[in-house]
Amino acid sequence: MRLKHKPWAKDKLNDFPQYVIANPEDCNGKWNEVFGNDHPLYIEVGTGKGRFITEMAKANPHINFLGIEVYESVIVHALDKLIESEIPNCKLLSVNANDLRNFFNKGEVSRVYLNFSDPWPKTRHAKRRLTYKTYLSIYEDILPDMGEIHFKTDNQGLFEYSLISMSHYGMLLNFISLDLHNSDYEGNIMTEYEEKFSNKGSRIYRVEAQFPSKK
Ligand code: SAM
């Protein structure tokens, strides 16, 4: 993604504490209090401009959603969507996925979504892929036993890599689509990247992967 420097983004994020959590380490173990209910919490890692997470929140009012994005200049667009639509069950974190263990107790997150994650095609950058084993281990630590990751991408190489990485980790691959938009899967909510690449004719791949039971 080409990033435009937006020096005002930080101030804007700070101006909306009802939507942007400034000190997520203080929320560890208390996300139900932050949202004011005991609904399940779904997170999207690498949320970008936030179309998926905000539309998911509108469609599922009894689930809490958190969009997680490392760049303030990008997540500020997700904030605009929350301000415009006044979505009470969606909030944002401008943090790096590496740090997620600091923000959530085991089992506090009920599902992890990864959408159109950066492919990092060079082998020497494999550790940066959000489906690399160290990231899978982070997700496992914040999900409940047998928690799930739902992953979509247009990138065949990243998809194949991710299936292998998840399998090596011992995860079960419960659902795989090699052409989501031409399948009978219902209720797909598109991301910004998904719309862009499917409009260019790219196929969309999707997997639902589940961690093994540790009991
Ligand atoms: N999910 C969105 C979509 O489908 O339109 C955005 C896809 S974009 C290719 C990937 C996003 O993941 C970027 O905005 C990037 O900054 C974010 N990202 C990559 N690595 C991350 C990390 N370690 N922690 C948080 N966000 C990350």
Task: For residue 45, give the 3-state DSSP assignment.
Answer: strand
Alpha-carbon distance of 37 to 95, in angstroms, equals 24
**Domains assigned to the chain:** 9-210 (3.40.50.150)
**Ligand 1 in reach of 208 Cβ (< 6 A):** no
> Measured in angstroms, how far is the CA atom of residue 35 from the centroid of ligand 1?
24
- Residue partners of 146: CB distance under 8 A and separation at least 6: 210, 211, 212, 213
Provide mean pLDDT across the span 35-59: 98
Is 80 close to ligand 1, i.e. is its CB under 6 Å away?
no
Is residue 97 in contact with ligand 1, taking CB distance under 6 Å? Answer: yes
What confidence tens digit (pLDDT) does each residue in 33-44 have?
999 999 999 999
Question: How far is 151 from 176, CA to CA, in rounded Å?
Answer: 10
Q: Which pLDDT does position 100 carry in this prediction? A: 98
Query: Is residue 36 within 8 Å of 57, Cβ to Cβ?
Result: no
Looking at every residue in the chain, the average pLDDT score rounds to 97
Q: Is the pLDDT of residue 4 over 80?
A: no
- Ligand 1, from 52, 66, 69: best to mutate by most atoms within 8 Å of Cβ? 69
Q: State pTM to two decimals.
A: 0.97
Angstrom distance (rounded) from CA 202 to CA 210: 26
Give the whole-angstrom CA distance, residue 75 versus residue 88: 17
Q: What is the pLDDT of residues 158-190, one digit of tens each?
A: 999 999 999 999 999 999 999 999 999 999 999
pLDDT in tens, 137-161: 999 999 999 999 999 999 999 999 9
Q: What is the pLDDT of residue 1?
A: 58
Q: What is the mean pLDDT of residues 103-127?
A: 98
